[in-house]
Amino acid sequence: MFNFEELTHFWVYLSASPLLGLTLTLCAYVFAQWVFARCGFSPLANPVAISIAIISLLLVASGMSYQRYFAGAQFVHFLLGPATVALAVPLARQVPRLRRSLLPLVCALLCGCVTAIVSAVLVALLLGASPELARTIAPKSATTPIAMAVSEHLGGIPALTAVLVIGTGIFGAISGRFLMNALRVESHAARGLALGVAAHGIGTARAFQVSPEMGAYAGLGMGMNGVLTALVAPWLVPALLGWMAH
């Protein structure tokens, strides 16, 4: 039987502990997954985007600071590391196929990495953005920790880079299927690699929802694009900015 007094006591206890942020995160994601399932697992109902919207609305409505929320949510944040490392398991199962496709994979990764950086910088500058904003947006397709480090090295704004990275991942996870259907890309390997390179972890999560093969290639794309971005961006972005300045 519903007991309002017990619920009130539980809320008072929860709101005074770091568990509040963790509870909000888990509840928001469970609800977002339910919506995702009810929508037939349509990419338009991306659970990450829904979760972010729910938590943002709750923080604004309750007046809770982000620092207080993150005191509890950091437990989920910590698991990002082990979850990323765990991507090596499905990737290892695809090693024979990866060896046979080594040259096309390397070419695709290089093209994807360079295209992501060049297009981001050029579009930003052509739309009137400052060089600082162009440096900030350049590593948007790399996974968040690498993108923030690259942004800081380039003289960008790491906090804004993190926001742009998340936005890129959500957009890629939502639009990827429709774009690749329009281009008639049927191979799960090609679709997965494209999602991983363009939409990092969020795109990889979406790829695993489709098939283990697609998820494995997405994990490869995400990891290698992060490494390549860290190597290529520090010399490519200044060269682009210098060229555009002339």
Supply 238's token pair.
Answer: 């200044």
The count of C-alpha atoms lying within 13 angstroms of the C-alpha of 242, restricted to the half-sphere facing its C-beta, is: 6
Q: Is 184 left (phi over 0), alpha (psi -120 to 50) or beta?
A: left
Supply 115's token pair.
Answer: 């295209």
Q: Which of 217, 163, 223, 167 is nearest to 195 (CA)?
A: 217
Longest dimension (CA), the chain: 73
* Confidence band for 44, pLDDT divided at 50, 70 and 90: confident
Residue 64 burial by CB count (10 A; 0-12/13-18/19+): exposed, middle or buried?
middle
Distance CA 243, CA 246 (A): 5
The pLDDT, as a whole number, for residue 232 is 92
135 has a pLDDT exceeding 90? yes
Distance CA 222, CA 232 (A): 15
Mean local confidence (pLDDT), 94-119: 84
* Confidence band for 9, pLDDT divided at 50, 70 and 90: low
Supply 211's token pair.
Answer: 């098939």
Mean pLDDT of the chain: 84
2 has a pLDDT exceeding 60? no
201 has a pLDDT exceeding 60? yes
The pLDDT, as a whole number, for residue 119 is 92
Distance CA 9, CA 23 (A): 16
Distance CA 161, CA 139 (A): 8
Residue 234 burial by CB count (10 A; 0-12/13-18/19+): exposed, middle or buried?
middle
Q: Which of 169, 160, 159 is nearest to 201 (CA)?
A: 169
Domains of the chain, residue spans: 1-78, 84-246
12 has a pLDDT exceeding 90? no
The pLDDT, as a whole number, for residue 8 is 59
Q: Which of 31, 114, 24, 107 is nearest to 71 (CA)?
A: 24
3-state percent helix, strand, coil for the chain, nearest multiple of 5:
85, 0, 15
Mean local confidence (pLDDT), 44-51: 87
Residue 195 · residue 203 · CB < 8 Å: yes
* Confidence band for 15, pLDDT divided at 50, 70 and 90: low
Provide the whole-model pTM.
0.77
